[in-house]
Structure 1
Amino acid sequence: MNEIPYASSMFFYYSALSDRVEKLRREELSAVDSPDSARQHVAKVQARLKSVFGAFPARPPLQPVVTGCVEKNGVLVDKVYFQSRPGHFVTGLFFRAVGSGSGLPGVLGVCGHAEIGKGQDKYQQFSFGLARKGFAVFLVDPVGQGEMLQFRSSNPGYPDFVKGATQEHNQLGKQLLLNDELLCNYYVHDAKCAIDYLLSRPEVRPGKVAVTGNSGGGQMSYYLFGLEERIEIAAPSCHMNKLAWIFKDEIATDAESSPPGLRACLGDRPDFLIAGAPKPCLLIGQKRDFVDLRGLRESYAEAQQIYRALGQEENLQLYLGPGEHGYHLDGREAMYGFFTKYYFGKSDPVEPPLELLSAEEYTVTPTGLTIDLPGAKSISAMLCEKMPPAPGANAGPAFAALLRAKLQLQTLQPPVPEYRSLRPVWRGERKILGMYAIVSEPGSTAVPVLHCVTPSSEPLLPEGSSARLYLAHLDAEQ
């Protein structure tokens, strides 16, 4: 058995799996050496991503409502909400310059993990900045932020058991998994409906749109770049990384950032760039970001290999600023230059001085929460309606059979696994806690530690006709 600290054994186990996947990915990419092989690889990656995200629900009539309009910085801002699922409302701000008319290129603005969502300073700034340059921008709240909080609190903001956007996302992600649903599917579906609304506006030219965002909004930007045909150009900021580096750096990710099955099918984050190739894309990063620059550069290199094989290497660009994590002025101006060059033929990167909207001005709904709108339901409430009834008293044997099938158990009396008797721990007078490290599968480095209350300090597993196993919800070493 490998000498790995027991408390870290699960990390090393999955890290080894990730390394094996990374090796297979590199072998696949090394075989791309022509336009035909590049197109075949793009199609393969597109199919993988679609299988991971699963089918999206039908997009319903949006039934949009404009609750007000604000004029600021020579820009008109409509306050809008629409329905992306029955009872599920999405809030957003629609920006366009005063007197701009019709035929404007549309841009979907997607937010990072700011608790106030679309009200965050830098997200307002890029929306105003783009509107001043001749674009129409729709900046939307994500689930769990801004006006789309899903867990009600007696106080403004998040309830006591949810500490900010990340925990709200993860609470929702766990609940959705119980019903075999994915939070990332909700995010992308809401964004697809937001594109529907953007293209329905008379000010916006029909067809396709751009997307940009930072951090979690950067991720949503490259998700849409690879998954949505109506996105024709993107500028994701401060999120692109390789999953291999995320494992090695032990970086935590939210539920919407970790689609189950992505790694197992040889997928990785740069695959969203590959799936969108050869459409134009500007990757924006910062040199002092917590996002690993090695992962950003490797992602760019992987995707650039496909763009180069397709003969459109210039369509994928990388900008690295000197700052920390965030959609800073230099990153926004790189995006302005990229978008204006594509749409208007001439780069116009400079951001003018801008005044921000107040909380009252950027709030769309009467109470500041979509779950207070007539007919609204939280995602948790919708899940409760979908869940099957609780199993009856006689469901035990059927559930046991299901577990045996899922876990591929051949027998209910497997042989005693390899184990190590670790040093016992004394817990009060005449009470000893024996500890045993168990090898769960041959050659595995994932070593669960079994704690047994025992009357003896001898390193022996207790024998008996039955035992009760308690599985803690946290690592016992924590």
Structure 2
Amino acid sequence: MNFKMLYKSSSLKKPIMKYYNRKIGLFVLPFTIISLISLNCSAQISAIPLNTEPKAFAISYVKPTEFDNPQLIKGLEIIDSDNRRFIQLKGGSNYGLAEDYFVQPTGKYNVSVYYMADSLEKSEVKVMINRRLAGSVVFGSNKFAGSSSHKTFARINIEKWSRIDLEFNKKGSGKCRIEKVIFTPTGAFDGKLKSLSEPKSLKLYQTSDERLFGRAMLSDFVNSRIDSLMAKRVNLLSTLKTPTEWQENQNKTRSQLEKFFGKFPERTPLHPHITGKIIHDKYTVERLYFQSQPGYYVTANLYIPTNRKGPLPAVLLTSGHSSPGKAYSRYQTASIGLALKGYIVLAIDPMGQGERFEYLDPKSKEITIQGPVDEHYYLGRPSFLVNWTLSGLRVWDCIRAVDYLVSRREVDTSKIAAVGNSGGGQMALLITAVDTRIKVCAAGHPGGQMEKNYLPGQNLIDRQIFSLIAPRPVRVIVGEKSGEAAFHRKKIEDIQLFNEGLGFDKNRAQIVIVDGVHDLKYPKREKVYEWLNHWFDKEVEGATEPAIQTEEPEALWATKSGLTLTSLGGETGQTLNAKRLKEIYKPASNIIELKERIAKRIGLSLNEKKAQLKTHSSGTYYYGDLSVEKLTYHSEEGVEIPSLLITPKNVKAESPVYIYASDRGKPTQFEDMDVPFQLAKRGYIVLAIDVRGIGETSPTPSLPLTVKYSDCTPFQWFHDRLAIESPGFGRTMLAMRTYDVMRGIDFVKSQKEFEGKRVVVYGKGLGGLWALLASIYDSRVNGVVTDGTLASYKLLITNKYYKVPSAYFWVPGAVCDFDIPDLARLTLKQQIWINPISGLGENLSSFNAVSIIGSNKNIHIVTSGKTSDALNDLKLFN
């Protein structure tokens, strides 16, 4: 066994190398966002070869250039649409302007503008270089609205530090959607040079290489630690010599399943209920439901072959991300095809699909969150806070489905298989790994982001869990055109190692590549039949499939209305989470113990030796009576924090130094209304920082301006994945960013001119949590300001809906040990809470805020609505 090759195939390559491996110089707008791995949103997005031009969601690294993140000066917004990102005109705007500066070498470039023609009217976007027209896109020139197109302006002279403008001029109703702009070098500059000087900017990272460093920093930091864990696992496996040792490794993994998924519920009565039958000549379909947890209904169809001598082998069929769930035509066809070959098939609806949509308007009964992927994301996030996962919830449904199968006298309980595709393929692998009653598995295109989210991470945990399948037979079936083969082959190679280690033929685990894309069409079903027939001694049934007639989805409903909540009522994933919250929320009453438990829960180590505080100044600019020094400091190895030190001409005597940390990052341009400048104009010194993964160190140019908080967008997912992986090496993103703030305090205290000054940490949005935690674990903090910060994790769990950034959720099991008001209780320093928000992102009233956060002499709650007005209360720190 070549363990070094296994590690190379399993580890995630360093982002910075992938950036530099690109052979073409690309210059892209913020919508050609980078992504780390195949996204598998409902596993519909395929990998894109590195040497092709990146699309909106390119699965590759693109060397960033100055139009990565342009300033939207006027009339524009960023939107995500049709799996792409665009700049477009805001509603009501007829003119828009985006600008930035060219940081590539002086030369000739082809300038290609990619756009969507959303109107037949002749709106126009001009590309201006140093205010001279390089070319324009006229939208009405397309044949039809909604088409994608591009236009290239050839061999344009562009000097380094040139100003690049996009001017949007609207005629009619069009939005003027621009997807990306690519600059490709074509030769030497042959015009007259103006010797342009570097423009004043509050961005520290100006050149492509600097931006590349900032963009890759967090990804490198997280991935290197996951790589290290992967390498340790490979080294450990290389030491296993006997089948007993391999089995002991599996036993250790099995003992950790609740650490991965969360604690499984107790087995309770299923209370199955058959509501009807559909009788055909060769098979019968039973419509039924059972309770996987008390009051939590799972709808299903049981396909029973007729005129077959029992007991018969059985199949649990797990649906992919189709809205009809078990009733989707391809899953029906697979179920019928298996029944015709003599298998009993139990096809279940996953939560959020088929008859189990959980987010309904109580009056109209209409679905409020559209699509199964959206429902899975929406439920999966708050589940993390109660130490639970969507994968755990779905695995438990599958375990109870197997319980139902083995209760049927027609079933040969020694011959049960799991079959699924896409998100259902992932679940087929998971139920096979977790439940040893499953003897054979066939999984098509296994994926689904929330289905492979575990409390301590993703890919590494996937490998560990799937190792439990060995030595039982498993086949992964992949369409050649899906581009997923290499990704799935790694999983199979890992299982093959365990097969050999346990003394079995490694090919009991195999990957089969067939024609097609990401679906369960024939011939993929053929490979399912072939695999199950081989292992259950049914080759005589053959692998071909006759013409199959499916039912209308309504005919397969186990409920009258087609929705369990409408017909049966009962629990939802959200109400189960709320009940779990009541069971597990037990914060320590002892302050010392509470602090220790919080630090352990989030992974904030206070005993590690700090790295040397290296600092670097990039110059000072002046803005009225303010001086703004651009600088960086090293938080820890591989982590550099871009910062602005803003000093007023007349510093208030005895005033504190403010450390400002926002989930939107520090200012990137001089804006009077930005909080750091408002503070400085009041006479305070401000250190405004970009904690890791925020602002200039964001792994994507800018976060999506989310409207639907249930959306699965690759842009947000890139951030989420890094946060989900981090607990795998013992640190949450919350802890790492708190540490960055504490290192900012180290910087302030290292400056002689600030000697004796008090320190107040001002946290904006999610930054309020970093500020609270910094004040708890760093005695040098004298005061805290939270501005627009969530008042309680409970608001995300006990209420059906939420509208806050997903970064709030990735603290596995947070409420086992603390809620946000517990942080306020532990913070013995003066606190000002400015406009605390609800789970819907709305400002709380003063009464509601006090009732949630609490009230004592240290807590001062301001609900003025305007931050600028609330800043008057900062006199409390003077």
Task: Provide the TM-score with structure 1 as the length reference.
Answer: 0.82
Corresponding residue of 2:456: 261
CA distance in 2, matches of 1:277, 1:258: 22
Corresponding residue of 1:442: 637
Find the partner of 1:178 among 385, 408, 419: 385
Structure having the higher strand fraction is 2
CA distance in 1, matches of 2:627, 2:372: 42
CA distance in 2, matches of 1:274, 1:387: 32
The answer as to 2:504 corresponding to 1:311 is yes
CA distance in 2, matches of 1:61, 1:324: 41
The one-letter code sitting in structure 1 at the alignment partner of 2:320 is G
Corresponding residue of 1:363: 557
Corresponding residue of 1:378: 572
Deviations 1:414-455 (A, max 9, x none): 99965666799999x999998765644333368785446235
Q: Is the 8 A contact 2:381 2:806 kept in 1?
A: no
Deviations 1:229-258 (A, max 9, x none): 110111111026xxxxxxxxxxxx533321
The one-letter code sitting in structure 1 at the alignment partner of 2:494 is E
**Are residues 14 and 416 of structure 1, via their aligned partners in 2, closer, same or farther at CA, if it must alter by over 3 Å?**
closer
Considering only aligned residues, what root-mean-square deviation do their CA atoms show, in Å?
3.6
Shift of residue 270, structure 1, vs aligned partner: 3.6
CA distance in 1, matches of 2:436, 2:378: 31
Q: Is the 8 A contact 1:209 1:233 kept in 2?
A: yes
The answer as to 2:258 corresponding to 1:40 is no
CA distance in 1, matches of 2:254, 2:237: 15
Deviations 1:285-339 (A, max 9, x none): 1222253x22222222222122123132342232111211111211110110111
Gapped runs of 5+ residues in structure 1?
241-252
**Are residues 387 and 333 of structure 1, via their aligned partners in 2, closer, same or farther at CA, if it must alter by over 3 Å?**
same
Q: 1:143-222, aligned counterparts within 5 Å?
A: 143-153=351-361, 158-159=367-368, 162-222=369-429
Q: Is the 8 A contact 2:554 2:562 kept in 1?
A: no
Corresponding residue of 1:344: 537
Secondary structure, aligned partner of 2:539: coil
Q: Is the 8 A contact 1:437 1:450 kept in 2?
A: no
Secondary structure, aligned partner of 1:61: coil
CA distance in 1, matches of 2:620, 2:435: 57
The answer as to 2:687 corresponding to 1:461 is yes
**Are residues 316 and 404 of structure 1, via their aligned partners in 2, closer, same or farther at CA, if it must alter by over 3 Å?**
closer
Corresponding residue of 1:134: 342
The one-letter code sitting in structure 1 at the alignment partner of 2:515 is P
Corresponding residue of 1:287: 480
Shift of residue 38, structure 1, vs aligned partner: 3.1
Deviations 1:42-70 (A, max 9, x none): 33333344542344222211111111111
Deviations 1:209-232 (A, max 9, x none): 111000111111111111101101
Secondary structure, aligned partner of 2:446: coil
The answer as to 2:298 corresponding to 1:75 is no
The one-letter code sitting in structure 2 at the alignment partner of 1:128 is I
Corresponding residue of 2:133: none
Corresponding residue of 2:228: 20
The answer as to 2:307 corresponding to 1:99 is yes
CA distance in 1, matches of 2:535, 2:398: 22
CA distance in 2, matches of 1:438, 1:155: 55
Moved more, 170-179 or 401-410: 401-410
CA distance in 2, matches of 1:434, 1:236: 56
**Are residues 179 and 301 of structure 1, via their aligned partners in 2, closer, same or farther at CA, if it must alter by over 3 Å?**
closer
Shift of residue 179, structure 1, vs aligned partner: 1.8
Shift of residue 409, structure 1, vs aligned partner: 6.0
The one-letter code sitting in structure 2 at the alignment partner of 1:357 is E
Corresponding residue of 1:335: 528
Deviations 1:152-207 (A, max 9, x none): 13667641xx3422221122112222222222221111111111111222221234
Secondary structure, aligned partner of 2:410: coil
Q: Is the 8 A contact 1:32 1:306 kept in 2?
A: no
The one-letter code sitting in structure 1 at the alignment partner of 2:339 is A
The one-letter code sitting in structure 2 at the alignment partner of 1:226 is A
Moved more, 431-440 or 379-388: 431-440
Moved more, 225-234 or 279-288: 279-288
Corresponding residue of 2:323: 115
Find the partner of 2:764 among 447, 466, 470: 470
CA distance in 2, matches of 1:434, 1:165: 49
**Are residues 402 and 417 of structure 1, via their aligned partners in 2, closer, same or farther at CA, if it must alter by over 3 Å?**
farther
Q: Is the 8 A contact 1:9 1:446 kept in 2?
A: no
Q: Is the 8 A contact 1:12 1:446 kept in 2?
A: no
Q: Is the 8 A contact 2:218 2:639 kept in 1?
A: no
Moved more, 434-443 or 40-49: 434-443
The answer as to 2:265 corresponding to 1:57 is yes
The one-letter code sitting in structure 2 at the alignment partner of 1:180 is N
Task: Provide the TM-score with structure 2 as the length reference.
Answer: 0.47
Q: Is the 8 A contact 1:80 1:364 kept in 2?
A: yes
Identity %: 24
With a CA cutoff of 8 Å and minimum separation of 6, indicate the structure with the bigger relative contact order. Answer: 1
Find the partner of 1:299 among 478, 491, 516: 491
The one-letter code sitting in structure 2 at the alignment partner of 1:150 is E
Q: Is the 8 A contact 1:225 1:272 kept in 2?
A: no
Gapped runs of 5+ residues in structure 2?
1-204, 643-660, 668-674, 689-753, 767-804, 808-878
Shift of residue 345, structure 1, vs aligned partner: 4.3
Corresponding residue of 2:724: none
Corresponding residue of 1:250: none
Count of paired positions: 449
Q: Is the 8 A contact 2:258 2:264 kept in 1?
A: no
CA distance in 2, matches of 1:144, 1:168: 6
